């Protein structure tokens, strides 16, 4: 039986998988069991920011593995303490809570926001999020995910959620006035909602409204964090200072790790017993978190990532000009890009398959947006080869004369 058939038989079909059995990851490439290499341009959905099998990460992983794999939160966890201190040094003064995934980080923030309103202002309740936002799929976080296919009719945890549109400050203020929410939570660049960056002006004005109405200003940096958009966290493009910063994905270097940084004053709201998780964080994940920060902050990873992203943007923008209107928009920030084509769902799906056939893995979101989440380590010649392949595929698509 093929791996594909075994997968069909034994795993729940919560994802539409490509029929490729990966044997190995090497640098920016994934290699399948037939030995075919693919340039990985979506990095395990924004996780492998430094590519695959990064030698420094593997060394740090091995060092930690020889010390201990798990000790529980009953003991002092040195890799976790170090990582928390470093994350705080790079963001806001406060305290860190570690979990194992993005959704768990969101769940922790919902509970923390609840504690805050109970102790500070019990007239407030609920969380404001943006239309098309994505904040996870667990029962608590799914309510904050405003995408119909995901939200569905699963049982909901009992707290109010208000939805407003990106860049609409008037509606946001109206919600603050009428509903008295406790918090506002936003992705600085909406990810699966269509790679939509929030303007710096909107983020800064939204923060001002939060201060005016006594609402916690929270950012979901689960996808945008760890240098993906340029700075370590995407909010750092602006002058805002969030009360709560959520992180996951890239920080673990490929291992499950998530959590939140809560500004001073919020950091003491959880008492023993209020929240917890057995692994949070697993020492291996925390050690990799420290290794990721070493590479990003001490070994030039962030600067290199910015250079690589600038080059990718320049080449794609130039291709857009040459594409004769076939590429209608390129949007996003840093290594988080959406390429919008003048094409329908079928053609975009076909484009994805053709690129795969040529050895380039891209993701598609919202049916028609080619989503790139490349590693910060993407080399110039890798960009060149991808842009050339995309251009050739666009030409074929043009010749077929089927654009919608």
Ligand X SMILES: Cc1ncc(COP(=O)(O)O)c(C=O)c1O
Binding site for ligand X (CB under 6 A): 45, 101-103, 106, 134-136, 187, 191, 220, 222-223, 248, 258
Least Å distance, CB 126 to ligand X, is 19
Instruction: State how far the Cα of 183 lies from the Cα of 176, in Å rounded to an integer.
Output: 9
Give the residue at shortest CB distance from ligand X.
Answer: 102
Least Å distance, CB 222 to ligand X, is 4
Nearer to ligand X by Cβ, of 203 and 248: the residue is: 248
Instruction: State how far the Cα of 164 lies from the Cα of 186, in Å rounded to an integer.
Output: 11
Instruction: State how far the Cα of 223 lies from the Cα of 251, in Å rounded to an integer.
Output: 10
- 217 token code pair: 């200003």
Nearer to ligand X by Cβ, of 38 and 134: the residue is: 134
Q: Mapping DSSP to helix (H, G, I), strand (E, B) and coil, where does residue 29 land?
A: strand
- 354 token code pair: 């053709």
Least Å distance, CB 174 to ligand X, is 25
Least Å distance, CB 307 to ligand X, is 25
Nearer to ligand X by Cβ, of 304 and 363: the residue is: 363
Least Å distance, CB 101 to ligand X, is 4
Where on the phi/psi map is residue 222: left (φ > 0), alpha (ψ -120 to 50), or beta?
alpha
Nearer to ligand X by Cβ, of 183 and 248: the residue is: 248
Nearer to ligand X by Cβ, of 207 and 221: the residue is: 221
Q: How far is CA 175 from CA 171, 211, 226, 333, in A?
A: 6, 14, 31, 28
Strands 161-164, 127-130: pairing is parallel
Least Å distance, CB 141 to ligand X, is 7
Least Å distance, CB 385 to ligand X, is 27
Nearer to ligand X by Cβ, of 27 and 374: the residue is: 374
Nearer to ligand X by Cβ, of 25 and 259: the residue is: 259
Least Å distance, CB 121 to ligand X, is 26
Instruction: State how far the Cα of 74 lies from the Cα of 155, in Å rounded to an integer.
Output: 33
**Other Cβ atoms within 10 Å of 250 Cβ, number:** 30
Nearer to ligand X by Cβ, of 115 and 147: the residue is: 147
Least Å distance, CB 225 to ligand X, is 9
Q: Running DSSP on this structure, what letter comes out for residue 272?
A: T
Least Å distance, CB 331 to ligand X, is 16
H or E segment and range at residue 217:
strand 216-220
Instruction: State how far the Cα of 277 lies from the Cα of 345, in Å rounded to an integer.
Output: 41
Least Å distance, CB 136 to ligand X, is 4
- 293 token code pair: 């920060």
Query: Residues near 317 by Cβ (< 8 Å), separated by ≥ 6?
Result: 330
Cis peptide upstream of residue 295 (ω within 30 degrees of 0):
no
Could you tell me where the DSSP H helices lie in 68-101?
78-89
Strands 216-220, 244-247: pairing is parallel
Instruction: State how far the Cα of 353 lies from the Cα of 358, in Å rounded to an integer.
Output: 9
Nearer to ligand X by Cβ, of 141 and 290: the residue is: 141
Nearer to ligand X by Cβ, of 101 and 383: the residue is: 101
**Other Cβ atoms within 10 Å of 270 Cβ, number:** 17
- Spell 153-184 as b/e; 16+ CB within 10 A means b: eeeeeebebbebebeeeeebbebbeeebbbbb
Nearer to ligand X by Cβ, of 105 and 378: the residue is: 105
């Amino acid at each position: 039986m093929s791996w594909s058939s075994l997968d069909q038989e034994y795993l729940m079909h919560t994802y539409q998988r490509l029929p490729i059995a990966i044997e190995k990851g090497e640098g920016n490439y994934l290699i399948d069991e037939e030995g075919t290499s693919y340039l990985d341009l979506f990095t395990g959905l924004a996780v492998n920011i430094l590519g695959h099998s990064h030698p420094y990460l593997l060394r740090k992983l091995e060092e930690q593995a020889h010390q201990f794999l798990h000790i529980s939160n009953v003991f002092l966890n040195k890799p976790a303490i170090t990582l928390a201190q470093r994350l705080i040094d790079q963001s806001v003064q406060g305290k860190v809570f570690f979990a194992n995934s993005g959704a768990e980080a969101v769940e922790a923030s919902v509970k923390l926001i609840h504690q805050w309103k109970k102790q500070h202002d019990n007239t407030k309740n609920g969380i404001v999020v943006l239309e098309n936002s994505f904040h996870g799929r667990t029962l608590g976080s799914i309510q904050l995910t405003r995408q119909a296919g995901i939200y569905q009719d699963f049982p909901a945890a009992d707290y109010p959620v208000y939805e407003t549109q990106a860049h609409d400050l008037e509606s946001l203020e109206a919600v603050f006035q009428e509903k008295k929410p406790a918090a506002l939570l936003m992705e600085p660049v909406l990810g699966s909602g269509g790679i939509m960056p929030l303007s710096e002006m909107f983020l800064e004005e939204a923060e001002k409204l939060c201060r005016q109405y006594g609402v916690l200003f929270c950012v979901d940096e689960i996808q945008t964090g760890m240098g993906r958009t340029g700075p370590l966290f995407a909010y750092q493009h602006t002058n805002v200072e969030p009360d709560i910063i959520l992180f996951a994905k890239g920080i673990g270097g490929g291992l499950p790790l998530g959590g939140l940084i809560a500004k001073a004053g919020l950091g003491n709201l959880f008492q023993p017993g209020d929240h917890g998780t057995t692994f949070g964080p697993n020492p291996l994940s925390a050690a990799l978190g420290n290794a990721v920060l070493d590479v990003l902050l001490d070994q030039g990873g962030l600067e290199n990532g910015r250079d690589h992203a600038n080059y990718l943007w320049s080449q794609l923008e130039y291709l857009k000009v040459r594409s004769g209107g076939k590429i209608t928009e390129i949007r996003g920030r840093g290594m988080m890009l959406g390429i919008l084509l003048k094409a329908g769902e079928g053609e975009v799906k076909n484009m994805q398959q053709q690129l795969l056939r040529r050895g380039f893995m891209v993701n598609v979101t919202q049916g028609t947006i080619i989503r790139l989440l490349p590693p910060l380590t993407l080399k110039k010649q890798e960009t060149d080869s991808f842009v050339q392949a995309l251009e050739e595929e666009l030409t074929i698509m043009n010749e077929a004369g089927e654009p919608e």
